[in-house]
Amino acid sequence: MDAIYARRSIRRYERDPVPREQLLEKITEIHPFSSMLKQAPAAIMVCGDLSLEKYPGSWVQDCPAATQNIRLEIAGQGYGGVWLGVNPFEDRVKGLQRLCGLPASVAPLSLLAMGKPAEKKEPKDVFLEPRVRFNRCG
């Protein structure tokens, strides 16, 4: 649970001594809230391969779970990262499919920008107890 409470979105990274892939820069032209990719040394794109689905449609549950797990592991390994939403925004989905040459059956759900953190953020309590319902809603 510590990882869940302590993790924050990190959008500034130490400069990578290795030249960055131009690909990350190109993503900023597709995704309107991804400017941190101009200086991030790496990003992970989480995709669902619809041709491999055992239970059709369940990728929209599986991929966010994977994204959250990766997000926690990025923080757990001492890196900073931020989740960038892709699905259900069609322009981002189509743009990334085109840019990365994904087949139509491979649907991007999210991106995770990551790198060595160049900013520090304190944990934030975002638990909204009034929104919790027990047994019934309303």
Ligand X SMILES: Cc1cc2nc3c(=O)[nH]c(=O)nc-3n(C[C@H](O)[C@H](O)[C@H](O)COP(=O)(O)O)c2cc1C
* C-alpha torsion sign, points 61, 64, 68, 69: positive
| Residue 6 vs 100, nearer CB to ligand X | 6
Question: What is the rounded distance in angstroms from the CA atom of residue 12 to the CA atom of residue 36?
Answer: 7
Q: 122 in helix, strand or coil?
A: coil
Which of 1, 56, 122, 124 lies at the binding interface for ligand X (CB under 6 A)? Answer: 124
Which of 84, 107, 112, 114 lies at the binding interface for ligand X (CB under 6 A)? Answer: 84
Q: How far is the CB of 138 from ligand X (least distance, A)?
A: 26
In whole angstroms, how far apart are CA 13 and each of 3, 69, 92, 101?
A: 20, 21, 23, 27
- Binding of residue 133 to ligand X (CB under 6 A): no
For 19, counting Cβ atoms within 10 Å of its Cβ (0-12 exposed, 13-18 middle, 19+ buried), the class is exposed
- Binding of residue 89 to ligand X (CB under 6 A): no
Which of 28, 83, 94, 102 lies at the binding interface for ligand X (CB under 6 A)? Answer: 83
Which residues have CB under 8 Å from 26's CB, separation 6+? 99
Which of 85, 94, 97, 116 lies at the binding interface for ligand X (CB under 6 A)? Answer: 85
| Residue 9 vs 97, nearer CB to ligand X | 9
Q: How far is the CB of 136 from ligand X (least distance, A)?
A: 27
- Binding of residue 82 to ligand X (CB under 6 A): yes
> What are the structure tokens assigned to 88, written together?
């259900």
Question: Judged by CB under 6 A, which stretch of 13-21, 44-52, 80-88, 130-138 contacts ligand X?
Answer: 80-88
> Of 24, 30, 12, whose CA–CA distance to 85 is shortest?
30
Contacts to ligand X by CB under 6 A: 8-9, 33, 82-85, 121, 124
